[in-house]
Chains A and B, each alone.
Chain A
Amino acid sequence: MSEVVRPSLSSGVYYRDPRAALKWLEEAFGFEPVMVVTNEDGTIGHSEMRFGDGMIMVGREWDDRHKSPASIGGVNTQAIHVLVQADIDACFERAKDRGAVVLREPADQFYGERTFMVADPEGHVWSFGQTLRPMSHAEMEKAAPGVTIRERL
Chain B
Amino acid sequence: MAEVGQGVFTPQVFYRDPLAALHWLEAAFGFETSLVVTGEDGAVGHAAMTYEGSEFDIGGEWASPELIAEAAMKSPVSLGGAGTQFVRVNLKAGLDAHCERARAAGARITQEPTDQFYGARVYRALDLEGHVWTFQQVIAELSLDDMAKASGLSLRTKL
Contact = CB atoms under 8 A, between A and B. Distances in A.
A72 interface: yes
A113 to B, nearest CB: 12
B80 to A, nearest CB: 7
Nearest to B45: A147
Contacts of B89: 8-9
A55 B9 CA distance: 7
Contacts of B10: 80-83
A52 interface: yes
B12 interface: yes
B38 interface: yes
B35 A117 contact: no
Interface string A43-58: 0010000011111110
Nearest to B9: A54
A17 B139 CA distance: 31
Contact of B83 (A33, A38, A67): A67
B5 A65 contact: no
Nearest to A34: B157
Interface string A6-34: 11111111100001001100100000011
B72 A53 contact: no
Interface string B31-43: 0011111111000
20 contacts: A6-B138, A7-B5, A36-B155, A36-B159, A37-B154, A38-B154, A56-B9, A65-B83, A69-B84, A75-B73, A75-B74, A77-B85, A79-B14, A81-B9, A83-B9, A101-B69, A104-B68, A125-B68, A147-B40, A153-B33
Interface of A: 1-14, 19, 22-23, 26, 33-40, 45, 51-57, 64-69, 72, 74-83, 101-104, 117, 119, 123-125, 127, 137, 146-153
Interface of B: 1-14, 22-23, 26, 33-40, 45, 51-54, 56-57, 67-76, 79-90, 130-132, 134, 138, 141, 143-144, 152-159
Q: Which 5 pairs from chain A and chain B are nearest by CB? A: A7-B5, A54-B8, A78-B85, A8-B52, A54-B9
